[in-house]
Each structure stands twice: as C-alpha cells, then as structure tokens.
Amino acid sequence: TQQVLWVGEGRSRAAVRPFFEWLGAEACTRIEAVAMDMNTAMDLEVQHHCPNARVVYDLFHVVAKFGREVIDRVRVDQANQLRHDKPARKVVKRSRWLLLRNRTNLKDDQALKLEELLQANQPLMTVYVLKDQLKELWYAPSEDEAKQRWQDWLNLAMSSGLAPVQQFARRLKGYVEGIIASAVYRMNTSVLEGMNNKVKVIKRMAYGYRDNDYFFLKIKAAFPGKVR
C-alpha cells in the first residue's frame, strides 16, 4: 500500500531489529516472504524473527552489483591493456554506460556502438552475455528451472577465465536460495526504491534534518498508504 510503518537509522542487525520487535512475534510468523537487497544484516534478522519467511533478493540490486564488481573491473582491465592503442582504449574507457544500461533502452546508434564494442572485445562480450543470462534466473517458471538456470550460469562463469566473474560467482553461491525463491514469490523492491528517492527529495528540500525523530515523522506523513 506504500505506507511507511517504521523507520530506523542504519543497516546493522541492531538497527533493524526494533522493527521486528515492534511488529510482534505473531505477526512475524505470518510473513511468507521478504524482498530485499543483498543486506546480510536484514537477511539474518528475517531468518531469526520470521521462521516461515523466505528471503527474495531483488533482481536490480544483484545485477547492479554484477555491473559494479564485474563489468566495471573487466572494462578497466581491458582499457589498461590497450595503452598502446589510444583510440581503442578511449572507446573502452567510455563504454561504461553502454555496458550497464539495458539494450532495449539504447537508441539505434548507441546499440550499434555497443555491438561493435562487443564484437571487438571478447572479455567484454563474455561479461555482457553473463549479465543478461543472470537476469533470466528471476524469470524461471519454477524452482527446479531456476536451479538449473543457476547451475548453467555458474558453469559458464567459472569457465570464463575471468577472475572478477569467478569471484562474483563464488560469492553469489551464498545467496542462491534467495534468487531461486523468486520463482515462487514474484517480489522486488522497486516500489520501496521509488519511495527512497522521494525521501531523499524531502531531505534535500529541508537542507537536512537535525532531529531524526521529526524527520521520521515527515517520512511517515509523506507515505500514508494507498487503498489497494
């Protein structure tokens, strides 16, 4: 309903625990699933207080993390290898936006530049394809299919020969259950992210707040909720 029920400060387990205590044990047991980013503190608190809930990791956050930790790293590495070819190095260095943005959102000339870049650079082609295939994990029609897609993606990542890809894949193993759960619970944090952006605007318009309690009341007032 886009109603803000509770606001806290920080991202640690101690910071988010008061929410579950405020909600109460009975209500917590009725929660079936919780969508979140890859925040270990929130994950652990959900597991502790909501024994029947499954964690669902948001697609955007995982793919964005892949972009920062893998695509950016490979792009920089490839640019560094092209020091002898300044024009080519310049193209690779300036390709970040093309590589991270969805292909469907590119104009025709931008899509052409992207295609030329990928054809000319195999490592960038590899990470770009892996990014697209990573997204498909969230669109699996069943948990069994999601597990198979994960295994296929993991095999490709580990056989890529690219250290940033392999490191990311190994770390992602610990979050697989929260990705597979998306086949059952089609949840994401997009609504919350939109609300977060509005909160930032409220803060910016006031040039910040010295009193957090007052700031939290302003946030709650801005999001009274909508009738379903």
pLDDT band for position 208 (cuts 50, 70, 90): confident
Could you tell me if 32 and 16 are in contact, meaning their C-beta atoms sit under 8 angstroms apart? no
Backbone angles phi, psi at 109, to 5 degrees: -70, -35
Please, how many CA atoms are within 13 Å of residue 7, restricted to the half-sphere of its CB? 18
Q: What confidence category does residue 122 fall into, taking pLDDT thresholds of 50, 70 and 90?
A: very high
Mean pLDDT of the chain: 94
Structure tokens, 176: 């697989």
Burial class (CB in 10 A: 0-12, 13-18, 19+), 19: middle
The predicted pLDDT at position 144 comes to 97
Nearest CA-CA partner of 183 in 29, 38, 54: 54
Dihedral sign computed on CA atoms, order 191, 196, 199, 200:
negative
3-class DSSP string for 168-205: HHHHHHHHHHHHHHHHCCCCCCHHHHHHHHHHHHHHHH
* pLDDT over 90 at 227, yes or no: no
In this structure, are residues 212 and 9 in contact, taking their beta carbons and an 8 Å threshold? yes
pLDDT above 70 covers what percent of the chain?
100
Q: Which long-range contacts (CB under 8 A, 24 or more apart) does 142-149 make?
A: 142/183, 143/180, 143/181, 143/183, 143/184, 145/183, 146/179, 146/180, 146/182, 146/183, 147/180
Largest Cα separation within the chain, whole Å, is: 65
Q: Is the pLDDT of residue 7 over 80?
A: yes
**For 15-65, how does the pLDDT look when each residue is reduced to its tens digit (9 = 90+)?**
999 999 999 999 999 999 999 999 889 999 999 999 999 999 999 999 999
* Encoded amino acid at 224, one letter: P
pLDDT reading at 133 higher than 80:
yes
**Tokens at residue 20, please?**
């579950």
Nearest to residue 100, comparing CAs of 70, 79, 122, 123? 70
List, for residues 159-189, the tens digit of each pLDDT value: 999 999 999 999 999 999 999 999 999 999 9
